[in-house]
Structure 1
């Protein structure tokens, strides 16, 4: 397996959608409802939603040859860099692909800027992964759909003057 990470383009939309469709149910059904999973698949993983993240944010894909195994999107929220949607196909997990995607996202953001991300409370696998990448708890919020969103932050590295 020879994994490369590259910037996504519109030809990657079906593969990125497949990642969402294959990862969301197994990731979120253990601690949310089927309605929550379905609602988010229908809002964040549609062709138009994935196209929008490719066009308005920066999306990277991890590939083994022509097969897309994972994706990450870096965008902005409240004037700060945010890592959105970092997912790896179930059969490719445990092969450091998520780490490659995370490192690519952090490299894009740069060491001199804070990086933020969020996950649904109950997703302990995500929390552990993010903590290993240097993120710490920032705050929680309730978006009104019965879930709790946990926000984490990785502080910019201090620069010497």
Structure 2
């Protein structure tokens, strides 16, 4: 589509008393530290009885970056179930797997009793979660190593 918006993505719209669009705002992505936003705003009508005109701009907005930490032990259910139990977001789990790629096979090498600790960035805007960022630190104790 025109705006490359994902299904289920929130778009804020403001309408007037005649149900006509006043403004529209949509997040276009970015990283944990900043978001790109599309803003469409109504400007004065062209002439008496004419249509409204709209101006669009893309702006960068700073997010508040928090550092989130998760830690835990590997349970009998395996690595992925243990990540779920520790509330590690899926995108952060994928980054962790990629960090250890070629070193650890997460389907076969991880054993019950292994431990992990991970610190990652999370971006917030006006107190609301926007997206996760980089993995800042990760420790994995695999079979006492």
Interval of TM-score (by shorter of Structure 1 and Structure 2): under 0.3
- Which is richer in strand? 2
- Which is richer in helix? 1
